[in-house]
Amino acid sequence: MNLINEGGLFFMSSLLILLILTFFLVVKGFRNNTEKNVELIKAVTLFALAFGLFGFILGLISALDTLDSMNTDIHPAVLSGGIKRSILSPTLGFLVFLTGRLGVIFLMLIKKKK
- State pLDDT tens for residues 12-57: 999 999 999 999 999 999 898 888 999 999 999 999 999 999 999 9
The predicted structure's pLDDT at residue 103: 94
- Where residue 1 falls among pLDDT bands split at 50, 70, 90? low
Q: Which of 111, 21, 7 is nearest to 60 (CA)?
A: 7
- State pLDDT tens for residues 64-101: 887 778 777 777 777 787 788 888 889 999 999 999 99
Q: Compute the distance between CA of residue 107 and CA of residue 32 in angstroms, rounded to an integer.
A: 10
The predicted structure's pLDDT at residue 101: 96
The predicted structure's pLDDT at residue 75: 77
Q: Answer with the residue of higher pLDDT: 86 or 114.
A: 86
The predicted structure's pLDDT at residue 46: 96
CA quadruple 65, 66, 71, 77: dihedral sign: negative
Q: Compute the distance between CA of residue 9 and CA of residue 15 in angstroms, rounded to an integer.
A: 10
The predicted structure's pLDDT at residue 113: 63
Predicted model pTM: 0.84
